[in-house]
Structure 1
C-alpha cells in the first residue's frame, strides 16, 4: 500500500514546518499591530430601551 510509505511525504512535511518555524514565523511576529492594546478600562455604554409602538 503506497499510502503507508512515509518516504516522500514526511520529508516534505518536515521541510515545510521547519521553513515556517524558522523563516516565516519570526518575520510575521516582528510586525507591530496597528491598534495596540490599551490599559484603559472600557466605559460602560448606557443603553436606552427601545419603545415599540405596537405594545
Structure 2
C-alpha cells in the first residue's frame, strides 16, 4: 500500500514543522498583544451549597 511508505510524506512533514518552528513562530510571537491582560484582583463570589431534597 503506497500510503504506508513514509519516504515522501515524512520529509514534507519534517520540512513544514521546521519551517513553522524556526521561521514563522518567532515572527508571530514578536507581535505585541493588542489586548493585554488586566491586573485586576479576581472576584470571589459568596456561594451557598445546594441542599438536595433527597439527602
TM normalised by structure 2 equals 0.69
Equivalent position of 2:5 in the other structure: 5
What residue in structure 2 maps to residue 15 of structure 1? 15
Moved over 4 A (4+): none
Q: Structure 1 stretches of 5 or more lacking a match?
A: 44-55
Q: How does 1:1-55 map to 2 (within 5 A)?
A: 1-41=1-41
- Which structure 2 segments of 5+ residues have no match? 44-55
- For the residue of structure 2 that corresponds to 1:40, the secondary structure is coil
SS at match of 1:19: helix
RMSD over equivalenced CA pairs, Å: 1.4
